[in-house]
Structure 1
Amino acid sequence: MADAAVTNGNPNVDAIKASKLDIRYPTLFLPRPTDDIPSADATSAYNTVTNGPVAQNVKTQTSKATDEMSNLAAARHPPSYTAATGQPLTNYHSFFSELLSWRNPRASAIAYASLVTLIFAVRYLDVLRWAFKLTWMVLGITIAAEVAGKALLNNGFATQLRPRKYYTIPRETLEAAIGDVHELINFFVIESQRVLFAENVYASAAAAFGAFLSYYLVKIVPYWGLAVIGTTVVFFTPLIYTSNQELIDNQLKHASEVVNAQTAQFRTVAQKHTEQATQVTKQYVGDYTAKAQALIKGARGHEVNGQDKTNGQEKPSIKATDFPTAPQEELKHPDPEPVEVVENTFPPVAKTDGESLIAA
């Protein structure tokens, strides 16, 4: 206290009074909150939120989702296998195979949620009308700012915000986009042909069942509902298969064995009946051949021996007396009628000594 009361050897009256009041009323001189304390509390709360477990979990999941999206983008390359015709497949075969396999679950979930959201947005949001509204509002604000700037400052605001060089699409970017569109179209074209010509029987059977079911669902379910159902089936069928792969494979193997056994039985029965039918056909053909040969031999024997053996009855041979006798006398022709001679009534033609009868 003495140190507080004396400053540079001189007693300080205010310090002495303050020390006395501090002794009597200690609560009056507690430190008051300063302006730095609220900011320190806000900083502490911000650090607690940003560095807390929830924030750390969000950061971790975001980082994993980014990595999975990068893996999915890197999967766009031609696969090692080819089609049944031997031609190479497109980049999107590997891309969609990686996407639907759920090896990158966050990327697959984001893709599914984006597609479903897009379907609902097209169904319930008037996107085209909103686009027109946003267009005229942006153009109206730009025009008003330009006119107001020229009227007030003799320089439009839009002119000041105008870039020095308008943005253009580089040729490389456009060619890459066209190449991606070309690959995507070829993916659907090739896959439709592979399904049509049953390159994978299970995939073709699934497509046929889906088309059959959609034929009846379209009567009671709208098109956007069918789109949501189809997207859900396409995304979650591989997930269900990978989650229960062992059980499903065992069931498919058992079904394949049953089908193969029934096919082998049908093949054996069909082969047996085919052999029997072949033997019966050969027997009938042999019988008819023998009968035809007997008929031919009978006809030849009839010509040689004069006997008809087709019905087991013999007939007498043909003799010369069976035919009528030819006439022996010569045929007599009737006398010709006399021909009347008609006299020449034309005047005689005078003979000339080699002169032409044509008048000059």
Structure 2
Amino acid sequence: MADTSYPDLNPSNGTPTSGSTIGNAGSTMENAKNSVVNNAQSAMDSIKNHPTVQNLNNGPVVEKARNEAYQTQSEFGNLAAARQTPSTKTATGQELTHYHSLFYSLLSWENPRATAISYVTTILFIFACRYVPLVRYGLRLTWMVLGITAAAEIAGRMVFDQGFASKLRPKKYYTIPRETLESTMDDVEQLINFFVIEAQRIVFAENVYATVAAFFTALITYGLIKITPAWGLALLGVTATYFVPLGYITNKEFIDEHLQNAGNIIGQQTQQVRDLASQHTSKAMEASTNTLKTYSARASEMVGQTKQKAVEKGVLSPQSADKAESTVKGENFPEAPKTEPAGPDSAQAEAAQAAPVLQ
């Protein structure tokens, strides 16, 4: 005879137990969840495959935006690849830096989208420094982050006996790899040397046009610094740096033609100045030679007159005067010895030979 006092404990009984009830409820919830997910997925697929959405995704506007994004990414890649040491060297034979190639590619508008984005970014940074208190915001963010961290750490230790910041602390602090530091320092060195080399090339007129342009730039800046704030000068400088090369590239033939004409005119004027200076030098040399000849003739004439007066007064005989004149002319001067004297006899002989003969 079966015990029916506790029918819920009898597994053979047809009445459902609590475990089966929970299992049925779980399966029902799982089915409902799957149904909701399937319905949402089908709705998303329907929206995605709708003709209007397809037209928007594959329309001309989206296609244009996609092409522009691809070309912009490609131009930035070309700009990064331009960082190579150029083959040209300075007038002293030194190699240039890879920033020469980078800035040339950037400012020559070889990649217009990348150059335009860099220009807009620089202008926005200047305006941000002018109108946005970046230092103040940075300090505010610093004290807020540190305050929240300290409060969370203290509250966690008081309540849970473990701080929240300590729990989020990594097992190993992040450090900058040595390779990254070396590459960064190499880039900084190249950038500094770029400005140092270019400044010397301008000062020593390796390119006279660049020196003249730098002169006018410094002169205009000297005048504007009295009436223009620093951010305004920075704005003008950045704009000129980006758009003056663009103006030259756009009108390269016209500007080169006028520069060549100016160079020819300057060369002609320089040649005229050289010819004029040569003529004046020749005339000065000729006048000096004539003056020297005139004074030499006068000196000879005065010597002759003095000799004639001495002969007339009987101070000198005509023979002595002629002999003295020939001696003064150097005809009877002894030759310099070619060897060292052997002894005192040789020295006396040379002294006797060097004495002038006067009667």
Partner residue of 2:237 out of 230, 234, 245: 230
Q: 1:274 matched to which residue of 2?
A: 281
CA distance in 2, matches of 1:301, 1:88: 79
Q: 1:90 matched to which residue of 2?
A: 97
Q: TM-score, normalised by structure 1?
A: 0.70
Q: 1:138 matched to which residue of 2?
A: 145
Partner residue of 1:194 out of 198, 201, 218: 201
The aligned amino acid for 2:284 is A
CA distance in 2, matches of 1:67, 1:246: 29
**Can you give the 5+ residue segments of structure 1 that lack an aligned partner in the other structure?**
1-33, 307-315, 320-360
The aligned amino acid for 1:210 is T
CA distance in 1, matches of 2:156, 2:60: 51
Shift of residue 76 of structure 1?
1.3
Equivalent positions of 1:67-106 (< 5 A) are 67-106=74-113
Q: After alignment, is 188-197 or 54-63 more displaced?
A: 54-63
Choose between structure 1 and 2: higher helix proportion. Answer: 2
1:62-109 per-position Cα deviation (integer Å, ceiling 9, x unaligned) = 221221111111111211010001111111111111111110111111
Q: 1:340 matched to which residue of 2?
A: none
Equivalent positions of 1:6-155 (< 5 A) are 39=44, 43=48, 44=50, 48-155=55-162
1:291-339 per-position Cα deviation (integer Å, ceiling 9, x unaligned) = 234344545555x526xxxxxxxxx4569xxxxxxxxxxxxxxxxxxxx
Shift of residue 214 of structure 1?
1.2
Q: After alignment, is 56-65 or 162-171 more displaced?
A: 56-65
CA distance in 2, matches of 1:150, 1:42: 51
1:26-65 per-position Cα deviation (integer Å, ceiling 9, x unaligned) = xxxxxxxx98897567544665544433332222222212
The aligned amino acid for 1:62 is A
3-state DSSP class of the match of 1:207? helix
1:109-163 per-position Cα deviation (integer Å, ceiling 9, x unaligned) = 1221122222222222211111100101111222233333334444333233222
Residues 293 and 68 of structure 1: is their aligned pair in 2 closer, same or farther, counting only changes over 3 Å?
Answer: farther
Identical residues among aligned pairs (%): 46
In angstroms, what is the RMSD of aligned CA positions?
A: 2.5
1:182-240 per-position Cα deviation (integer Å, ceiling 9, x unaligned) = 11111111111100010000000000011111111111111211111111111111111
Residues 296 and 231 of structure 1: is their aligned pair in 2 closer, same or farther, counting only changes over 3 Å?
Answer: farther
The aligned amino acid for 1:251 is H
Q: 1:283 matched to which residue of 2?
A: 290
CA distance in 2, matches of 1:283, 1:157: 106
CA distance in 2, matches of 1:301, 1:116: 97
Q: TM-score, normalised by structure 2?
A: 0.70
Aligned length, in residue pairs: 276
Q: 2:266 matched to which residue of 1?
A: 259
Residues 93 and 138 of structure 1: is their aligned pair in 2 closer, same or farther, counting only changes over 3 Å?
Answer: same
The aligned amino acid for 1:305 is V
Shift of residue 247 of structure 1?
1.4
Shift of residue 281 of structure 1?
2.0
Residues 250 and 151 of structure 1: is their aligned pair in 2 closer, same or farther, counting only changes over 3 Å?
Answer: same
**Can you give the 5+ residue segments of structure 2 that lack an aligned partner in the other structure?**
1-38, 317-359
Q: After alignment, is 151-160 or 82-91 more displaced?
A: 151-160
Shift of residue 257 of structure 1?
2.0
Q: 1:180 matched to which residue of 2?
A: 187
CA distance in 2, matches of 1:224, 1:77: 32
3-state DSSP class of the match of 2:171? coil
Partner residue of 1:305 out of 286, 289, 311: 311
Shift of residue 253 of structure 1?
1.8
Q: 1:339 matched to which residue of 2?
A: none
Q: After alignment, is 81-90 or 277-286 more displaced?
A: 277-286
CA distance in 2, matches of 1:166, 1:299: 109
Residues 301 and 116 of structure 1: is their aligned pair in 2 closer, same or farther, counting only changes over 3 Å?
Answer: farther
Residues 253 and 305 of structure 1: is their aligned pair in 2 closer, same or farther, counting only changes over 3 Å?
Answer: same
Q: 1:22 matched to which residue of 2?
A: none
The aligned amino acid for 1:261 is Q
Does 1:219 find its partner at 2:226? yes
